[in-house]
Amino acid sequence: MKHIDEIDYCPTNMAEVVLLGIAQDGGRPQAGCSKPCCIGLSPSDYSYPTSLGITEKDRLHIIDVTRHLSSQLQLLENRIPSDVWLTHAHFGHVDGLGLFGRETMNANGVNLHASSKMMRLIEQTPQWSIMLEQGVFTPIEITDKQPVTNTEFTMTPLLVPHRDELSDMHAFVLRGENHSILYLPDHDTWDETLAMHDADNIRQWFKNLAIDIALIDGTFWSSDELQSRSQDKVPHPPIKQTLEMLGYKQKGDPEVIFFHLNHTNPVYDEWSEEHTQVVEMGWKIGKQGMKFEL
């Protein structure tokens, strides 16, 4: 398995993946934040909410659509997506849906892939249901662990435990001719996720999935990062805990890349002790615009 930085890109013959955002739903800087983590940032330090673009020869897929979609599409030659895939209903992952409507893109027949629970929410939400009626979106239901075949890669939804006030949550495994990627921006705890997928530990689960690259939830560095809210109200496995469970990178491990970073997360600073620890253990922090081939 090649290191990410050594992967040879050949987008003419295979799908190319672009990391369009690395921030948690609120982005960075986050609205209403007057802390040093958000004040005085230069535009080069801004981070969009998590999203992934997959380019095939004749199609463009987007996983999760954010309110910054117009800027994110600049990384993809400003093409209108042919397919949208939704992980779950939390606002930073779906608040760009309206941009496909008549007020902006005036798109037509965009394939909208979502679970049955997520699709019901879309049908019951007036500003989204009208776009179904107008033909902006063509709804296509996804099913847990059932691969969907595209032109140059397959997409397999994986149900994972995450706050389900409005819908369930699916991660995705993208599998191409040469590489495979896990996209897991959100989940509640490793214990629950591993139990759901009959794995004793993270490394075993990754091995079972047969992936080369794992983009995983890195929302918080530690459980005491949110001083104003308790961690149980915003459940995500902290990076510090994930590192303790994984240990140092071993031969045969996939590349693990932390993303979906809350604006308070110290790993944004490449000179921080936290960022340095991640790198020294053999793992990575996501960077906006990162590219991978499938």
Give 96 or 3, the one with higher predicted confidence: 96
pLDDT tens across 251-283, in order? 999 999 999 999 999 999 999 999 999 999 999
Paired sense of beta strands 110-114 and 137-141, if any = parallel
pLDDT tens, residue by residue, 192-229:
999 999 999 999 999 999 999 999 999 999 877 766 55
What residue spans define the domains of the chain?
A: 4-293
CATH topology of domain 4-293: Metallo-beta-lactamase; Chain A (3.60.15)
The reported pTM is 0.92
> What does the alpha-carbon distance between residue 232 and residue 289 come to, in Å, rounded to a whole number?
32
d(CA 60, CA 150): 11
Tokens of 143: 């099913």
